Amino acid sequence: MKKYFVSVCTAFLICAQIYGQDARKSLDFIIVINDNIAVGSILSLQIELVSERGKEVIAASYYPGNLSLTEIDYNKLMSDSSKAVKLKFINYEYTGQNQAAYNYDIEVKREWLRDYFNILRIYDLDKKKYKARYEPSGVGKNYAYEIQSPSHSYRLVEKRK
């Protein structure tokens, strides 16, 4: 009976550990590209964590309004050892029969990920409307972005006309 009890307890602990690793952290996160909420056009989303130990790619999933990753990975992002967090993904845009792919590499501050929600707005500077209004977000980047949340915002300054 004692062996049976130990076996049951061991099996329970192993199952608890396995299921505990699958615990997900869901963040209220909306990605808006060129004034449209990205619905079904975002692929290959990943989070790159730069820490004292180097770079680590963290798998994440996204659907409009939700960015999801494991609880363990979220804790890594929030740790004091993390130096930078980058959200990387590809957005596909269809115009008639043509398809265009846009790669994004957005630095996200840890403080933003603690907020109730975030709205990430991206503007492709290939589009005349946005090229006239914004500067690129970095060298070699052909887009500009801003993020809005209840406690922290990073807003773009428009070009003077």
pLDDT for 94-122, tens place per residue? 888 888 899 999 999 888 888 999 999 99
One DSSP character per residue, the chain reads: -HHHHHHHHHHHHHHHHHHHHT-EEEEEEEEEETTEE--S-EEEEEEEEEETTEEEEEE-EEETEEEEEEHHHHHHHHSTTEEEEEEEEEEEEEETTEEEEEEEEEEE-HHHHTSS-EEEEEEETTSHHHHTT---SSTT--EEEEEE-SS-EE-PPPPP-
* Tens-place pLDDT, residues 144-161: 999 998 887 777 666 656
What is the reported pLDDT for 59?
Answer: 92
Would the pTM of this model clear 0.85, i.e. be above it? no
pLDDT value at residue 139:
83
